Amino acid sequence: MTAQQGPRELPGVDSPKGRQGSEGGVLNVFSHGVLILWGLMVTLPLLWAVMSSFKDDKSIFTSPWALPSSLHLDNWSRAWSQAHMSEYFLNSVIVVAGSLFGTMLLGSMAAYVLARFEFPGNRFIYYLFVGGMSFPVILALVPLFFVMKNMQLLDTYHGLILVYIAYSLPFTIFFLSGFFRTLPSSVAEAAVIDGASHTRTFFQVMLPMAKPGLISVGIFNFLGQWNQYLLPAVLNVGDEDKKLLPQGLVALAVSQGYKGDWSGLFAGLVIAMLPVLAAYIVFQRQVQAGLTAGALK
């Protein structure tokens, strides 16, 4: 905000060193300052949470910004076992593993057919899928709840998996059908001439060729499904033990407010943050590519 007005006042100010051109020096110091400031604003809350997860309850309250006097690793083990974080973590792993596999399999199958075969209704089905990207999920939420209730899918892993798959299909199909269209058709034709069925051609020739695209959209879906909050908050509330990680953590925070185990809560928060941050740092190129491709359609 104020940061944006900065350069408007500064241009043309001569650099004290002179060597860097008319606006190099001062403006570079200024712009680095602003960039570092935002970097701190992004990282400090995260570091504060990590720091608090190693403290005892008393020092969290009395000196929130001080370094922990000794490392209270028991916070982590307490959060992991007594506060059920391990169960929530496992629930998230089960649901996300199932829905990620289903999304990638079904999404790539549909995208392949829509991208590479001509048949009546192809465009209609494509836009039916892709149109789903632009509607707010919350509008469908109330009827969805009752659809799930009637099919006895509320509070079940497979119910959540099906819903996650359904809501991940639009972006997955949009992204992958674009990708399949760019693959050369000569390889697929050769396989078919050699006597491979369409199904076999898809699994043994086309899918391996689409690997970079599958990885990008796979990571994108992993982050989205792992971080999902709204859907489980509505469709998965019957059974305490079946909560997913973000949901379980929020429930914990509400009940913990009365029990006062703040250090355990911070440990839980960090346990929930670490896997995605680690996955992101390893795959940051693919994550950024996947996200921007989605928005730049």
Partner 1 sequence: MQHGKYRFIVGFLAVPLAIYAVFVISPFVQAIYYSFTDWTGLSSDFKVVGFDNYRKMFEDDIFWKSVGHNVLLLLVLPLVTLGLGLFFAFMLNVGGRRRKNAAVAGVRGSGLYKVVYFFPQVLSIAIVALLFQFAYNPNSGALNSFLKAIGLDSVQPDWLGDPQLALWCVMAVMVWSNVGFYVVLFSAGMSSIPRDFYEAALLDGANRVQTFFRITLPLLWDTVQTGWVYMGIMALDGFAVVQIMTVGPGGPDYSTEVLAYFLYTKAFRDGQAGYATTLGVALLIVTMIFAGVVMKLGRRERLEF
- C-alpha–C-alpha distance, residues 195 and 166, integer Å: 34
CA-based nearest residue to 229, from 98, 130, 101, 88: 88
253-260 contacts, C-beta under 8 A, 24 or more apart: 256/83, 260/57
Provide the minimum distance between the beta carbon of 161 and partner 1 in the complex, in angstroms, as a whole number: 10
Provide the minimum distance between the beta carbon of 81 and partner 1 in the complex, in angstroms, as a whole number: 20
Query: What DSSP line would sit under 82-132, residue for residue?
Result: IT-HHHHHHHHHHHHHHHHHHHHHHHHHHHHHHHH---TTHHHHHHHHHHG
Residues in the chain: 297
b/e map 19-29, b = 16+ CB within 10 Å: eeeebebbbee
Provide the minimum distance between the beta carbon of 24 and partner 1 in the complex, in angstroms, as a whole number: 6
Provide the minimum distance between the beta carbon of 202 and partner 1 in the complex, in angstroms, as a whole number: 8
Provide the minimum distance between the beta carbon of 151 and partner 1 in the complex, in angstroms, as a whole number: 8
Q: How far is CA 295 from CA 123, 134, 281, 282, 291, in A?
A: 21, 11, 21, 22, 7
Q: Which is nearer to partner 1, 29 or 97 (CB)?
A: 29
Q: Which is nearer to partner 1, 152 or 199 (CB)?
A: 199
- C-alpha–C-alpha distance, residues 78 and 144, integer Å: 37
Q: Which is nearer to partner 1, 31 or 87 (CB)?
A: 31
Provide the minimum distance between the beta carbon of 99 and partner 1 in the complex, in angstroms, as a whole number: 11
Q: Which is nearer to partner 1, 70 or 193 (CB)?
A: 193
